[in-house]
A and B are shown apart, each in its own frame.
Chain A
Amino acid sequence: EPEVTQTPSHQVTQMGQEVILRCVPISNHLYFYWYRQILGQKVEFLVSFYNNEISEKSEIFDDQFSVERPDGSNFTLKIRSTKLEDSAMYFCASRTAYANTGELFFGEGSRLTVL
C-alpha cells in the first residue's frame, strides 16, 4: 500500500540551528501539507502546497519556515532558526488531484526537540 514517508523520525537540535524535515509524498499525489502537533495539543495546519507554490499558510508559518519541492519526489520543511517552542511532532500529508473526495494520507511524523 502506498504511504507517505518522513525523515528523520526524531531530531534533536540546539536553539537557533536550522532544521530540514523531509517527506516523500505518495507518487501520484499533487497536494502537499505540513501539520504540527505540540505534545498534548491539537494537530495544527502549517502550510499547503500545490503546483510548486504555497496555496495557504497559517499564522504559525512565519518567515522562519519555508517549504520546497526540490525534485519530483521530495517535499521539505525548513525551519531557519529553531526556537524552543518549535519542539513538536511534524506531520507531512498528501492527497490526489481529486482533493475533496479522497483521503488525506499522513506520514508517521518527525519529532523535533529543540534544546
Chain B
Amino acid sequence: SQELEQSPQSLIVQEGKNLTINCTSSKTLYGLYWYKQKYGEGLIFLMMLQKGGEEKSHEKITAKLDEKKQQSSLHITASQPSHAGIYLCGALSSTGTASKLTFGTGTRLQVTL
C-alpha cells in the first residue's frame, strides 16, 4: 500500500518567515492533494497537482510536484497566524475514477507573533 511521509512533523515559525513542508511517497504519484486542517475540524482543500514539474500558487502558498522523486513540497511565504494548522498531503492511489486518497502523517504548523 502507498505510504506518505511528511516532514517536518511539526514546525514553529515566527510571523513573516517562510517555510517549506515536504511530502514523499513510497509509490508513483498519480495526483497529489494538499489540505489544511484545524484541530478537530474538517479538511480544507488547498490545491491539487497532477503533472511532474507542476507548480500552483494560491495567495502566499505554493506547491510543487516532483514526479521523479515521488515528492511534493508546500511553501508558505511570509507566514501569518492564519496559516497555523495541520497540513496534510494526500495521494491518489491510481488513475481509476473512484480512486481514493491516502493521506500523510501531517505537519503541525504554529506561527508565533
> Which residues from chain A sit less than 8 Å from chain B, CB to CB?
31, 33, 35, 42-45, 48, 50, 55-56, 89, 91, 97, 99-109, 111
Contacts and interface: CB of A to CB of B under 8 A. Distances in A.
B31 interface: yes
A45 B33 CA distance: 15
B105 A42 contact: yes
Nearest to B33: A104
Given A100-B31, A100-B92, A101-B50, A108 B42 contact: yes
Q: Is the interface of B mostly helix, strand, loop or mixed?
A: loop
B30 A45 contact: no
A103 B45 contact: yes
Nearest to B94: A100
Nearest to A45: B100
A101 B97 CA distance: 10
Contacts of B35: 106
B42 A56 contact: no
A100 B92 CA distance: 8
Contacts of A106: 35, 42-45
Interface string B90-106: 10100111111111111
Nearest to B37: A43
B100 A33 contact: yes
B42 A31 contact: no
